[in-house]
Amino acid sequence: MCTGQSGSKQYMDLGPQEYPIPAIIISGKYPGKTVLVTAQIHSGEYPATSAVSRAAKQLDPSAVHGKVIFLPCVNMSGFRRETDAFVPEDGGNLNRDYPGDGSGTTAEIARYFIGELFPQADFVLDLHSGGIPEKLTPCVFVPYRMEKELMPVLQVLDIPHAVRSHNCHGEAGYAANMLGIPSLLLERGYGGLCMQEWIDAYMADILAVLGSLGIVRAPDRTVCKKTYYTEAVYPEAQEEGLWFPCICEDTYIRKGETIGHTEDIYGNLLRTYTAEADGLVLYYRTALHVSKGTPIAAYALLSSAFSMTDHERLRK
């Protein structure tokens, strides 16, 4: 368990015995909620790692209510080996492989979160980016079973697009949809880059969320208007080949519009992919090679969209 003296800041390793995960634990001077903040469960998604470390450094425990457990890099082996996303020991995906029923490193990490970290947490904030072979527009994925409870927190984020998520097998999805712990999965940045503007934006997100939960004094912040999408589409490649997208993040596509095509290594057309409905492009794959079953894009359906000022829509 993560214990610390009131009003202290600790630097230590958490995680399974054979897989140490660096952590900064802020034990506030005053009682309050416990928040778990994680970054880089997918290696290659870099901006949040620096943002988490810097946010933890900035916090003064004497002004904190409750506790914050900061994990700036969960997938340490993937980070060190410079892999794109998965845990390299077994190829597992910490956004797909909860609750860790199998064997291997990924399952051990998932079970550690379920057995040791989630029981302490009143809120989980999981920070991502578009992977190395992706481009992405800032968005936040909201576990469907907790969306009404999460509305006040969503309002403080300077992120324009929120999307309902039915994922029950990732860190945030399992915590929220299976265990009933309010959780959000944020996405900023892309392409294996670590731009300062993304780090700064993520630091502001972290402090705003902690402020909304009463952990720290809520910062003064002007945020963008937001749209909530209750449905999204995640097309996958139907064959191995070369992938040529013809869409761009944060733009609108129409039903029947081409989003890209695949060719074989000799330049012969394999398949043309088209949009199933009108939507907003959240992210898309940029890598030339694609395997069968690989996600090639994601777009939120415009027919499911509404302004987040209209909270009553979530009561239906």
Distances (CA, A) of 254 to 135, 139, 191, 274: 19, 20, 25, 9
**Residue 191 pLDDT exceeds 70:** yes
What mean pLDDT do residues 12-30 have? 97
**Residue 182 pLDDT exceeds 80:** yes
Which segments within 40-92 are labelled E, that is strand? Answer: 65-71
Helix (H) or strand (E) holding 243: strand 241-245
Write out pLDDT tens, residues 83-105. 999 999 999 999 999 999 999 99
What confidence score (pLDDT) does residue 110 get? 98
pLDDT band of residue 316 (cuts 50, 70, 90) is very low
**Residue 306 pLDDT exceeds 90:** yes
What confidence score (pLDDT) does residue 16 get? 97
Average pLDDT, the chain: 96
Three-state DSSP state, 171: helix
What confidence score (pLDDT) does residue 313 get? 52
- The residue extents of the domains of the chain are 8-224, 231-311
Task: Give the chain's end-to-end CA distance (angstroms, integer).
Answer: 39
What confidence score (pLDDT) does residue 2 get? 73
pLDDT band of residue 315 (cuts 50, 70, 90) is very low
Does the domain at 231-311 match CATH 3.40.50.9100? Answer given as no
What confidence score (pLDDT) does residue 310 get? 55
Q: Can you tell me which residue has the tokens 């095509």? A: 261
8-224: CATH number: 3.40.630.10
Backbone angles phi, psi at 129, to 5 degrees: -145, 170
**Residue 219 pLDDT exceeds 70:** yes
**Residue 113 pLDDT exceeds 60:** yes
What confidence score (pLDDT) does residue 1 get? 64
Question: In this structure, what DSSP letter does residue 115 have?
Answer: I
What confidence score (pLDDT) does residue 309 get? 74
By percentage, how much of the chain surpasses pLDDT 70?
97
Fold match between 8-224 and 231-311?
no
β-sheet bridge partners, residue 165:
143
